[in-house]
Amino acid sequence: MTDDLKTALLALSRESDKRSTTARVAQYFAEIEGALSAGVQRTTVLETLTRYGIALSLKNFDNILYRLRKKQSANSTEKKDVIPPHTANGKSELKGMAVVTSQEQTDASLRPAKTSVETLPEDWMTAKLTPAQFRLLLPKQRRARIDAETAQYFPNRFKPYANGS
């Protein structure tokens, strides 16, 4: 009886009229993305899908593409978190090397990675920060930095100065 159930469920998954529209669009997602990245208009892609039995509005098509892209980017970030192989002494063999997840790894792609350590300067509240340094700020630090800039131009006359005058 379980074999009959498996067969019936497999038959359902193969019947296109029993599957959701999102599942049918997801089946051809790579081809759709290829056409869109080549410069084909969304309406033209939608007309082609309608011609082949996948009828939906432009708004639904955009929503489905948005959800599929979001799902794909979530899957790709999970795959990027690859742990490099370890040697017997526990140190990584690829220390200082750029890890390439592509299938075509060449010797040129395994160059030493740049390891510039960004730190915040002592006067981080008022100093000009690089974008990398700005990303190191915590949300409370960012708020304090904005407050310090505001206080520079609009001082609070009711708040005493730090030097006591």
What digits encode the pLDDT tens for the residues 151-163? 877 777 777 665 4
What does the chain look like in DSSP terms, one character per residue?
Answer: -HHHHHHHHHHHHH-GGGS-HHHHHHHTHHHHHHHHHTT--HHHHHHHHHHTT----HHHHHHHHHHHHHHHHHHHHHHH-PPPPB-TTS-BTTTTB----SS---GGGGPBPP-PPP---TTTTTSPPPHHHHHHS-HHHHHHHHHHHHHHHS--TTSPPTT--
Mean local confidence (pLDDT), 127-132: 84
pLDDT cut 90: percent of the chain above it: 20
Q: What is the pTM of this model?
A: 0.44
